[in-house]
Amino acid sequence: MTERRTFVLVDGENLDATLGSAVLGRRPLPEERPRWERVTTYLEEQWGQPVTGLFFLNASNGNLPTGFVQALLAMEYRPVPLSGRADEKVVDIGILRTLEALRERGDADVVLGSHDADFAEAIHALLPDRRVGVLGFREFTSTQLAIEGVEHFDLEYDVRAFNAELPRVRIIPLEEFDPTYFLR
């Protein structure tokens, strides 16, 4: 019998674009990018099983970001550099195919790192046979991914994947409200 595991599928384009355009309003500096190893560590602690990180990259321009790929490998992620025609959303297609393949596996739980509604149907199809999660910035996650039975993990607030506090404005549940934060 195979050990149960979690696969985290990271839509790098989507998360990076959201971080840059919606959160920071500019291209993120290296120190403002998520520490991806914290994601796998966090998920291992939350779900109590090994995590395999798959990081999907668009390599349609024929270039592989060698430094970033080496960093992913050092963090024990599997880079998935895909290429295709200009009219193809290669990362989305790759993730959708992977989600479909995971439906056939009974030993795999899934966390999707994306805000994109394009994955809602495929995520829904994984339920109720396994644990399923969505990872990103809560306020930018498509409402179509708010599916009953799907756990949501905020990259900053839950996972603590950043070294610095991001300039985000979020709705604060009253039970989490700490007025001293605003008095600094």
Over the stretch 105-152, which tens digit does the pLDDT of each residue have? 888 999 999 999 999 999 999 999 899 999 999 999 999 999 999 999
Residue 57 · residue 81 · CB < 8 Å: yes
Length of the chain in terms of residues written? 184
What pLDDT score does 169 carry?
82
Residue 111 · residue 7 · CB < 8 Å: yes
Q: Residue type at 165? A: E
What pLDDT score does 170 carry?
79
For the chain, list residues with pLDDT below 50: 1
Torsion angle, CA of 33/165/153/81, rounded to 10 degrees?
Answer: 0
φ and ψ of 36, to 5 deg: -65, -30
Q: Strand order in 108-113's β-sheet?
A: 77-82, 51-58, 5-11, 108-113, 132-136, 150-154
What pLDDT score does 30 carry?
83
What pLDDT score does 2 carry?
59
Spans of all domains in the chain? 5-182
What pLDDT score does 106 carry?
82
Burial class (CB in 10 A: 0-12, 13-18, 19+), 88: middle
CATH 3.40.50.1010 fits 5-182, yes or no: yes
HEC-encoded secondary structure of 85-141: CCCCCHHHHHHHHHHHHHHCCCCEEEEEECCCHHHHHHHHHHCCCCCEEEEECHHHC
What pLDDT score does 90 carry?
96
Q: CA–CA separation, 138 vs 154, rounded Å?
A: 6
Residue 45 · residue 28 · CB < 8 Å: no
Q: Give residues with Cβ within 8 angstroms of 170, minimum separation 6.
A: 138, 139, 157
Burial class (CB in 10 A: 0-12, 13-18, 19+), 40: buried
Question: Can you give the pTM of this predicted structure?
Answer: 0.91
